[in-house]
Structure 1
Amino acid sequence: MYVRSVTARVLMLATAWSALALVVIAIVISALYAKSAERAFTDLLRAQLYNVVNSITIGEDNSLAGNPQLGDLRFSQPETGWYWIVEPLGTFAATPLSSSSLGRSNIAVPSILNVPFNNRYERFYPATDAYGNHVLVAETEVVLDSDGRAARFRVSGNLSVVDEDIQAFTRSLYIALVLFGVASLIVNGFAILFGLRPLDDARRALEKVRRGEAERLEGEFPREVHSLTGEMNALIDSNRRIVERARMQVGNLAHSLKTPIAVLLNEARLLDKSQAEVVRSQAEAMQSQVQSYLNRARIAAQRESMLARTEAEPILERLVRVMRRLNPDKTFDLSAAPPGLALAMEQQDVEETVGNLLENAARHSNTGVWLTATPAVVPEGADAGRRNWVEIIVEDDGPGLDPHEIKEALKRGRRLDESKPGTGLGLSIVGEITREYQGQLELSRGARGGLKAKLILPGLTWDVA
């Protein structure tokens, strides 16, 4: 699964690496300590073995004599697994000696072929005593006198001591590493969040630019982020220059076309009535189409500007006031909520889209037109994380349109009612501007029986009173 958050990715990587490192460290330290404990246990048995060797001699009656003092009570307690044994070898027929902990039992001696002596004439091998204890036996053979009489010396220790020691150490080690790991993850988390905070600051600064609250990324940023914010500011400045240049070119083009079209309309009045009507209608259509394409060019130039902002309620109130003056016999109802609702559009584009819809609704309504503006859900295919969205609904109580008539009404230059004035370009222009802003236009039959036009347009943040 691809994680989009940089913070989450760094935290996950740091957590995974820390966990893996701590597991490896725990295994390595446990293994090293186990070897060290086993080596120490072997050295202890060797020291005790030679202590026994130094304590045993041959008495005057040719018997083994001596009482080793190993300083460990376990050699005197039964069934502990801690024993010492001295056994005569060859023709030396003395009675064996052993610790009181061994009692009357004995420990089997493996073949020299299976467990050979080392270069110090010692050998160590595991065994199991008569009581089920797993022991490690240290053994050597020593010549006791000049007559060549020798004995086998053995000392055993209970391996459970080593196992318990290793388990106790491992348990303490794991607890310490877990606590250290948790503390390290907390410290790493705070360090990562603190280190990535400048990116959040840059994001918030960019959001201010997008909402129209600032024109540049402002703030103190570290060296690693400063170059990024500098490039973003340069991009915003470049984008602003492109928008201004596009607006100037659009204005120049509109001005250059205004006079020729006006001349055509003026000359049309000098022609015969039938010819004048054709020239006039075509000039008006050309004027509307030129204006439409100029609008599209201007919108395409500034659509990604992030600097366009239009307060919804004031501009809608002004449009409604104009429509009330033009249509005194009809009522116009406006509802815009919450306060501060703003559109990420140029003011003239809002006037063009909503004005066309109001004009169309007023033309076909019987008694009134209803206009509402509210926050909307993200339209399908739009970028949900980029901005908020605003829903504007214009509804009338006229005859409305059937589904097949709605498709025809959206076509450029198509007029369903030839008895009403107009060029047939209004809904087409609304649709083009809406699409340029990645919004949606939907026509349907409203609850009052007339046409219901719903616009989904890009919005900015707003404050709820």
Structure 2
Amino acid sequence: MIPVSRSLTVRVLLMATLWSAVSLITIALVISAFYRQGVERGFNNLLRAQLYNVINSVSIGDGDSLSGSPELGDLRFSQPETGWYWLVEPLGNFSAAPLASTSLGMAELAVPSLEQVPFDEHYERFYPMVDAAGNKILVAETEVVLDGGDRAARFRVSGNVDVVEEEIGFFSTRLYAGLALFGIGGLVVNGLAILIGLKPLDRARRALEKIRGGEAERIEGDYPREIQPLANEINALIESNRRIVERARMQVGNLAHSLKTPIAVLLNEARGLDKAQGEVVRSQAEAMQAQVGTYLNRARIAAQRDSVLARCEAEPVLERLVRVMRRLNPQVDFTLEVAPGLAFAMEQQDVEETVGNLLENAARFAVSRVVLVAMAATHEPQTVGEGARRGWIEVTVEDDGPGLAPEQIGEALKRGKRLDESKPGTGLGLSIVKEISSEYQGAFGLSRAQIGGLKATLLLPAVTRDTA
């Protein structure tokens, strides 16, 4: 299986999710900051309006005292320890008693120095503080001359900052909830759009599976403008591959045909020579015939080894081979076990030649039993390269004959090497099996069989539908 991190769908969804999350968080922070600025500015304006209301309501009455009863229209100015206060204090030589809201009572509001909080261009200043009840408040302050005698007073109005924080918190909660719902909805829509948008790629993948499975010869169907060129190029590659294979087969056939007659003539002429010379010519001609056949096969295999069109169902081919071997060797019991659904990514004649050679060799040395097993391999050849086929079939052929000693196995795989001259054969069978399996990037080995004789193990490439 391909790791999830390499999935195009997962990558696009992750990027869309990351971008949506960053965007929504940024939007939430910006809107919250703007809203806070707006609420704080409104709160300042409210305090400024209350401040000027107090200024308009206070004057110097009889006895040079401050008089007035501001009506601010807010009951919090009459309730104690609310954080909503107003206070008027005389300045300079004006020694009248100060006026204060009922909510302030006998408490005092600290006055920061002008160096700490200077007046602005409107001769106003705003500063935060904590009152005696522990409320965080914001104070609006100004100084006003009350009459022509230059008697002045300091006017201050405060409001509880908790009102601002509650308003901002109420708004932020609903803002974040709304953006979260919007983000989740956006991700769902993005996910559906991505999945629907990538459907053509999934169709193309299934079309390639059919080609590799031998069910089709080219990618069929209409695809979006972005994918259609890819489908066209793949079809062109398949067609080119088919032409290369056909050309290689034709050239191999021509060469085999051109060499067949000269070799046959040599073998025929060898019969007319005396025994010693005829035997030399015959053996060399037969070796030449075997060598030519082997290298022609190697050329053909190299031409079509990576072809996506090479396919051979395992069960019918192996059953046919075993059926033939039973007729040729009635004294031997042949057992066949094939896992269902296996298919070799090879030409049929190459499967027949490799497995057939092993069955012939096993039948030649078996006492009474040969076992052929084909199953999906749980490992791959050690020599397999990057990008090679990922599916492999393990074929084992066991006999109950004498087997081989470990030091004899290496000798048995050498071309033309026969360890038992009493048995018929050319000594080329196992070396041919090894060469064909190597051409397909597979593996071949010999070991001791569980039933007592020799065990031959082949790893051959398999057609697999697992492309996800």
**Alignment-derived partner of residue 419 in structure 1:** 422
The one-letter amino acid paired with 1:367 is S
- The offset of 1:250, in angstroms, is 0.5
Partner of 2:413: 410
After the TM superposition, which of the residue ranges 351-360 and 321-330 deviates more from structure 2? 321-330
Question: Hey, what does 2:457 align to over in structure 1?
Answer: 454
Distance 1:6 1:238, change over 3 A: same
Q: 1:386 Cα shift?
A: 4.4
1:289 aligns with 2:304: no
Q: Distance in 1 between matches of 2:410 and 2:32?
A: 78
> 1:37-76 to 2 correspondence within 5 Å?
37-76=39-78
**Cross-structure match for 2:380:** 379
2:234 maps to a residue whose letter is M
**CA distance in structure 2 between the partners assigned to 1:386 and 1:291 by the alignment:** 27
One-letter amino acid of the structure 2 residue matched with residue 392 of structure 1: V
Alignment partner of 1:313 out of 298, 312, 315: 315
Q: Could you tell me how far 1:177 is from its partner in structure 2?
A: 2.1
Report if aligned partners of 2:338, 2:375 keep a CA contact under 8 Å in 1. Answer: yes
Residue 167 of structure 1, CA deviation: 2.5
Alpha-carbon distance between aligned partners in 2 of 1:447 and 1:257, rounded to the nearest angstrom: 44
Rounded to whole Å, the distance in 1 between the matches of 2:335 and 2:84 is: 102
Between the two proteins, the alignment pairs up a number of residues equal to: 461
Contact 2:337–2:374, Cα closer than 8 Å, also in 1: yes
Q: Residue 389 of structure 2 contacts residue 461 of structure 2 at CA under 8 Å; is this kept in 1? A: no
After TM superposition, the structure 1 stretch with the greater mean CA deviation from structure 2, 317-326 or 292-301, is 317-326
Contact 1:89 1:149 in 2 (8 A): yes
> 2:254 aligned to 252, 255, 269, which one?
252
**1:378: Cα distance to partner?**
3.9
- Return the letter of the residue paired with 2:159: G
Any gaps of 5 or more consecutive residues in structure 1? none
The amino acid across from 2:360 in the alignment is E
Tell me whether 404-413 or 353-362 shows the greater mean CA deviation: 404-413
Residue 140 of structure 1, CA deviation: 0.8
Instruction: Check the 8 A contact 1:378/1:388 in 2, yes or no.
Output: no
Q: Which runs of 5+ in 2 are unaligned?
A: none
Partner in structure 1 of residue 151 of structure 2: 149
User: Is residue 82 of structure 2 the alignment partner of residue 86 of structure 1?
Assistant: no
The aligned residue for residue 161 of structure 1 is 163
Give the equivalent residue in structure 1 for 2:11: 9
Given that residues 125 and 138 in structure 1 are in contact (C-alpha distance below 8 angstroms), is that contact kept between their aligned partners in structure 2?
yes
Query: What is the distance in 2 between the residues matched to 1:332 and 1:111?
Result: 110
Deviations 1:244-273 (A, max 9, x none): 001000000111111111111111112221
AA at the equivalent of 2:31: I
Q: Is the 8 A contact 2:381 2:442 kept in 1?
A: no
Runs of 4+ aligned residues of structure 1 deviating over 3 Å after TM superposition are 380-388
Change (3 A) 1:127 1:313: closer
Aligned to 2:358: 357
1:353-398 superposed Cα distances (whole Å, 9 cap, x missing partner): 0111111111111123222222322414557994533222211111
> Which residue is 1:347 aligned to?
348
- Offset of residue 348 of structure 1: 0.7
Q: TM-score, normalised by structure 1?
A: 0.95
> What is the aligned-residue identity percentage?
69
Shift of 1:88: 1.2
**Structure-2 change in CA distance of 1:89 and 1:204 (3 Å):** same
- Measured in 1, the distance between the counterparts of 2:315 and 2:381 equals 26
Q: CA deviation at 1:109?
A: 1.2
What are the equivalent positions in structure 2 for 1:28-39 lying under 5 Å apart?
Answer: 28-39=30-41
Q: Deviations over 1:219-243 (max 9, x none)?
A: 2211110010010000001100111
Q: Distance in 2 between matches of 1:343 and 1:220?
A: 31
TM-score (norm 2): 0.94
Q: For 1:86, what is the secondary structure of its paired residue? A: strand
Identify which of 186, 189, 196 aligns with 1:187.
189
